[in-house]
Amino acid sequence: MNAKRVVGALAVVVVLGLGAASAGVVWFRSQTDPSGDAGAPQTVSVPRGSSAQTIAGILEDEGIIKSATAFRLYVKTEGAGPFLSGDYQLRPRDSFSALAAALEDGPEQKFQRLTIPEGLILTQIAERVAALPGRSAEKFLAVANSGEVRSRYQPAGSTNLEGLLFPDTYNVLETDDERAILERMVNTFDAKAAEAGIDAVTQGGLVDPYQAIVVASLIEREVRIPGEQGMVSRVIYNRLRKDMLLQVDASVIYALGRTGEKGLRVLFEDLEVDSPYNTYKLKGLPPTPIAAPGLAALEAAVTPTPGDWIYYVVVQPDGTQAFGTTLAEHNANIALARKNGAR
């Protein structure tokens, strides 16, 4: 072959190579950024531990992309990943950049809202949990009473979590089971109690941190008007110092198992109930909290309002209370409560 023919042949090869390369670039771009609008989202499941190659195959099988090979090449050249497992809502014909970004961010989490008001007891909290789809009050209570989930403030040997779950609004994942929900409530309580200063509380040797939480639970159930928590706390501590009966109605209601009733009034015969929670018959604090205290009640148990009060009584229908330092003041406040229709 003469020189001219050789040069001509090489020119043809170069042109063909350039053409093939150009066609390859066009094809790759058509895969990475398809023309037209993306289709409607569809569910695509990525198993745990899936490699980029496996995920590319899944996307092709589900019709999200046309070429797993092109997607693998894109991931390699762009350094995309790592990708997370889970259930995704992905659109066919979406760009590779959008698909890769979604897989890097992880699947959109779906939350269920769970609101626990202050002052609920453990069984009432379990009922709230059971209102979520697929959850059970029985399973929640079984885990709570098993001793497997513990608060840092729980006495040694105790499996009772009453009062040690923090009242709050929680965003619960669909995958969270009863144990996961309980653990989060207990961990949140521990953090909030520490924030309130429970770890350092002694009140002159009257209480340890767990007993201060008991005080907070009494405050939570006895107070309806914000701002009165500190005063009720002071009454409780003053009575403990004087070795007086606490005479807290809420503890008697707990002893009767009637915490869930609304507008309940304690009658004289109720005060005779035989229970360690009857603070009209037994001196000192109840053995455990009687409800889930919120942050304001915890803070009041740590830092009560200064004062000499040893009595309080509801004197207004809205729950406003009056405080007294003598029995005469207390009797006058009772008379006021009757006049106002609060008793």
Does position 95 have pLDDT exceeding 60, yes or no? yes
The confidence score (pLDDT) of residue 253 equals 94
Q: How crowded is residue 2: how many other Cβ atoms within 10 Å of its Cβ?
A: 7
Give residue 93's pLDDT band: very low, low, confident or very high (50, 70, 90). confident
Burial of 15: CB neighbours in 10 Å, binned 0-12, 13-18, 19+: exposed
Give residue 16's pLDDT band: very low, low, confident or very high (50, 70, 90). very low
Higher pLDDT, 21 or 293: 293
Higher pLDDT, 340 or 21: 340
**179 Cβ neighbours under 8 A, 6+ residues apart:** 143, 148, 149
The confidence score (pLDDT) of residue 14 equals 42
Sole residue written with tokens 């669909």: 174
Rounded to an integer, what is the distance from CA 153 to the centroid of its chain? 18
pLDDT digits (tens, 9 = 90+) for 151-168: 999 999 999 999 999 999
Q: What is the b/e burial string over 202-228, where b = at least 16 CB atoms within 10 angstroms of the residue's CB?
A: ebeebbbbbbbbbbbbbbbbbbeeeeb
Q: Residue type at 320? A: T
Name the fold adopted by 33-108.
Dna Ligase; domain 1 (3.30.1490)
**240 Cβ neighbours under 8 A, 6+ residues apart:** 203, 206, 207, 246, 284, 285
The confidence score (pLDDT) of residue 111 equals 86
The residue ranges of every structural domain in the chain are 33-108, 111-195, 206-339
The confidence score (pLDDT) of residue 9 equals 41
Share of the chain above pLDDT 70, in %: 90
pLDDT digits (tens, 9 = 90+) for 22-78: 666 766 777 777 766 667 888 999 998 899 999 999 999 999 999 999 999 999 989
pLDDT digits (tens, 9 = 90+) for 246-280: 999 999 999 999 887 766 788 889 999 999 999 99
Rounded CA separation 15/115 (Å): 70
Rounded CA separation 240/25 (Å): 84
Higher pLDDT, 129 or 48: 129
The confidence score (pLDDT) of residue 173 equals 87
pLDDT digits (tens, 9 = 90+) for 226-252: 999 999 999 999 999 999 999 999 999
The confidence score (pLDDT) of residue 175 equals 84
CA dihedral 218, 224, 229, 234 (to 10 degrees): -60
- Mean pLDDT, residues 189-200 taken together: 96
CA dihedral 136, 141, 143, 145 (to 10 degrees): -170
The confidence score (pLDDT) of residue 121 equals 96
Rounded CA separation 159/22 (Å): 72
The confidence score (pLDDT) of residue 31 equals 75
Structure tokens at 69: 């090979």
The confidence score (pLDDT) of residue 192 equals 96
pLDDT digits (tens, 9 = 90+) for 100-126: 999 999 888 778 999 999 999 999 999
Does position 189 have pLDDT exceeding 90, yes or no? yes
The confidence score (pLDDT) of residue 21 equals 54
- Mean pLDDT, residues 143-158 taken together: 95
DSSP strand E in 5-146: where? 42-46, 86-90, 111-115
Structure tokens at 125: 């909290």
Any idea which of 174-178, 219-223, 241-245 has the lowest mean pLDDT? 174-178
Share of the chain above pLDDT 90, in %: 76
